[in-house]
Amino acid sequence: NAGVTQTPKFQVLKTGQSMTLQCAQDMNHEYMSWYRQDPGMGLRLIHYSVGAGITDQGEVPNGYNVSRSTTEDFPLRLLSAAPSQTSVYFCASSWTSGSLSGANVLTFGAGSRLTVL
Amino acid sequence: AQSVSQHNHHVILSEAASLELGCNYSYGGTVNLFWYVQYPGQHLQLLLKYFSGDPLVKGIKGFEAEFIKSKFSFNLRKPSVQWSDTAEYFCALESGGGADGLTFGKGTHLIIQP
């Protein structure tokens, strides 16, 4: 099983450029999410999706777009990159979210390190 | 809004020392609680989780955590640490019934000196 696959692993952008971070999972998970990790800040939720065709904003959504056209894929788009978006981005998925099922343990991808100059 | 607070941002211990990392949360309802670990250069992995039942939960590699509802705490413990436990540890909360994702603490960077 590949689990959660993120590409690229590393990327350098100039301010104003756009790009897409790819995330794919092969576990048939309904729930997918994007976090950014910054030193001293922990992980902060950017966007999440509870199923194909459904997305919602997390704690820090500004400057990012997502879509969920299939169960497997959840790309994160940076519309116009800014230095403040320099970070490590993690995609994560689980069977579901919410407390009732107990099946919402996240599986994380390996991360994408983005530098915006 | 829910929040998670980890008391220690950096902890340095010697091998064989006992470990306790503090985690407190703020949320008035039912919660699921997690500890994730990130070893150097690797992605986050689940260490242990609490959904319901016995408040003392055991995880991988000899770690355990105790959920104390009255104190809104979920501290992580290990009786004797090893050099390989050097990592960053994150406490996380999921509020009951919600689809808002996990709220993470800011992390504790643990360094074990041989």
Amino acid identity, position B79:
P
Q: What are A7's two structure tokens?
A: 């590409």
Residue, of A114 and B97, whose pLDDT is higher: A114
Q: What are B5's two structure tokens?
A: 């607070």
pLDDT of residue A79: 92
Minimal CA separation from A117 to chain B, in Å: 23
Q: Output b/e per residue, B77-99; b: 16+ Cβ within 10 A.
A: ebeebeeebbbbbbbbbbbeebb
Q: What are A103's two structure tokens?
A: 């099946």
Chain B residue numbers touching A35 (CB-CB < 8 A): 104
Beta bridge partners of B87: B110
Question: Quick check: A102 and B42 in contact, CB under 8 A?
Answer: no
pLDDT of residue B110: 97
pLDDT of residue B102: 83
Q: Is the pLDDT of residue A100 over 60?
A: no
pLDDT of residue B58: 94
pLDDT of residue B100: 65
- Cβ contact, residue pair A42, B44, below 8 Å: no
Give tens-digit pLDDT for A19-51: 999 999 999 998 899 999 998 888 999 999 989
Give tens-digit pLDDT for A47-87: 999 899 999 998 899 999 999 999 999 999 999 999 999 99
Concatenated DSSP letters of A83-112: GGG-EEEEEEEES--SSSSS----EE---E
pLDDT of residue B41: 85
pLDDT of residue A98: 57
- Cβ contact, residue pair A58, B45, below 8 Å: no
Give tens-digit pLDDT for B24-83: 999 888 888 999 999 998 889 999 999 888 999 999 999 999 999 999 999 999 999 999
Chain A residue numbers touching B102 (CB-CB < 8 A): 43, 45, 106
Question: Quick check: A43 and A90 in contact, CB under 8 A?
Answer: yes
Compare all CA atoms of chain A with the CA of B37 and give the residue at the minimum distance: A108
| Backbone φ, ψ for residue B83 (5° rounding) | -55, -35
Minimal CA separation from B15 to chain A, in Å: 25
Substitution target in B8, B9, B43 with the highest count of A β-carbons within 10 Å is B43
Give tens-digit pLDDT for B75-96: 999 999 999 999 999 999 987 5
Compare all CA atoms of chain B with the CA of A49 and give the residue at the minimum distance: B99
pLDDT of residue B97: 56
A41 touching B (Cβ < 8 Å): yes
pLDDT of residue A102: 52
Question: Quick check: A75 and A67 in contact, CB under 8 A?
Answer: yes
In which band, very low, low, confident or very high, does the pLDDT at A1 lie, cut at 50, 70 and 90?
low
Concatenated DSSP letters of B21-61: E-EEEE-SS-EEEEEEEE-TTS--EEEEEE-SS-SEEE-GG
| CA nearest to A4, candidates A21, A36, A34, A27 | A27
- Alpha-carbon gap, residue A101 to A112, rounded angstroms: 30
Of B34, B95, B106, which has the smallest distance from its Cβ to A41's Cβ?
B106
Chain A residue numbers touching B107 (CB-CB < 8 A): 40, 42
Per DSSP, the three-state class of B85 is helix
